[in-house]
């Protein structure tokens, strides 16, 4: 039997995760995140070399990822460099998985 409070707590965690889901909700943005996983940082030109889209389109996707809280931007000279900032998102995903496993389905 599941805990009746599971629904409320799960919804609370999902609400906190919502910006990350929205940011990751497009295959191009998923590609960008995958590209940046093992990189210190990259500028738009470097990212666009790996993504089959124009620089303005890549910039648009970077803006959405930044607004979602998944990227940090650092200006170096005239270039903007992007790096992943996913610590908080990973923590929330872990919290959701652990909560569901431990509280909602403890014997499975």
In the chain, domain spans: 6-103
pLDDT digits (tens, 9 = 90+) for 37-81: 999 999 999 999 999 899 999 999 999 999 999 999 999 999 999
**R_g (Cα) of the chain, nearest Å:** 17
Write down the pTM of the prediction: 0.84
CATH class of the domain whose range is 6-103? mainly alpha
Pure H helices in the chain: 6-23, 27-36, 44-48, 55-67, 87-99
Give me the pLDDT at residue 9, please.
Answer: 83
Cα separation of 66 and 39, whole Å? 16
What separation in angstroms does the CA of 53 have from each of 20, 81, 90? 22, 18, 28
DSSP-assigned letter for residue 32:
H
């Amino acid at each position: 039997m599941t805990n009746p409070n599971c629904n409320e707590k799960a919804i609370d965690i999902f609400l906190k995760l919502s910006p990350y889901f929205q940011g990751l909700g497009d295959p191009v943005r998923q590609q960008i995140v995958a590209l940046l996983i093992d990189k210190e940082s990259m500028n738009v030109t470097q990212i666009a070399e790996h993504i089959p889209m124009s620089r303005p389109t890549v910039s648009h996707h970077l803006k959405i990822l930044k607004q979602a809280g998944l990227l940090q931007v650092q200006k170096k000279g005239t270039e903007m460099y992007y790096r992943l900032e996913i610590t908080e998102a990973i923590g929330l995903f872990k919290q959701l998985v652990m909560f569901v496993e431990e509280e909602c389905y403890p014997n499975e």
